[in-house]
Amino acid sequence: MSVAVKAAGWAMLLRVLGATYPTFPNAVLGLAAMRPIYVPLFVFVSIATMTGANFAALTQTNTKRLLAYSSIAHVGYMLLGLIAGTPTQLSADGIKGILIYLLVYTFMNLGAFGVITSLRHRNVIGDELDDLNGLYSRAPVEAVLMLIFLLSLAGIPPLAGFWGKYFIFFSLIETKHYVLAALGVLYSVFGLYYYLKMANAMFMGKAEESGLLPVSWTMRAALGVTAFATLFIGIMPDRFISLVNWSLIIVPNSPVARIVR
């Protein structure tokens, strides 16, 4: 529900709203011609979403609710990509940012929820921030992986989450939506605060119990895959950006596209 359904919903939304591609300026899909009508609505929804979700997450002590509110905030960031552009045409960089965002968000959010889930399997509730106290001393690998996922969600380079926000904010600046770009950056700082609040509990908090927590190979493999993707896409994003360009008909083909085919 956190990633798969959201990605499917965004795929449908992009199809319905449509886009005019730079290489095919006369090809209009979906409801792109109605941008002057729906863009003001998206501006309101995006600001309300980012504001409400980030302020709600700032006061949360429940880890799952904190991650859930942060998920809502990320939808607000992605809506900014739909707003970027002229009154009649979407920004190619805005759509590119949304697609990259959906790709990287899948791995980093699955990884973060995976760490919380793995704690429950070892009789650690993990629902409250206090449950994460001293996690580094009891499960150092999971604590480090969780830190990677949290910093990626916050958009810190060179992790994968940086590139989604980069293209969205760049598209806003490119199309002179300076106020929205500034708001997006400001709320990203808020997000960094509550993500670091979780990291502080894991690395600086004092564990109520001692002893290492056992790590199953299946969970270790799942977290390893999501962490590898989060790092790999962040450090070497070119092939994934090329694939997104191919999907948007910005380039005719790409090495990754040939592999997919």
Q: What is the pTM of this model?
A: 0.85
pLDDT of 208 > 90? The answer is no
Residue 145 near residue 115, CB atoms below 8 Å: yes
pLDDT of 27 > 60? The answer is no
Cα separation, 251 vs 101, whole angstroms: 20
> What are the pLDDT digits (tens) for 33-48?
788 888 999 999 999 9
pLDDT of 246 > 90? The answer is no
Task: Supply the pLDDT for residue 10.
Answer: 87
Tell which phi-psi region holds residue 124, choosing left (phi > 0), alpha (psi between -120 and 50) or beta.
beta
Give me the mean pLDDT over the 173-194 stretch.
Answer: 93
Lowest mean pLDDT among 25-39, 138-152, 209-223: 25-39
| Burial group, residue 156, by CB count within 10 angstroms (0-12, 13-18, 19+) | middle
Cα separation, 102 vs 4, whole angstroms: 9
> What are the pLDDT digits (tens) for 60-77?
888 888 998 999 999 999
Give the model's confidence band at 28: pLDDT under 50 very low, under 70 low, under 90 confident, else very high.
very low
pLDDT of 26 > 50? The answer is no
Any idea what the Cα angle at residue 236 is, between residues 225 and 107, rounded to 5°?
30
pLDDT of 12 > 90? The answer is no
Q: Six-digit token pair at 236?
A: 């070497």
pLDDT of 251 > 70? The answer is no
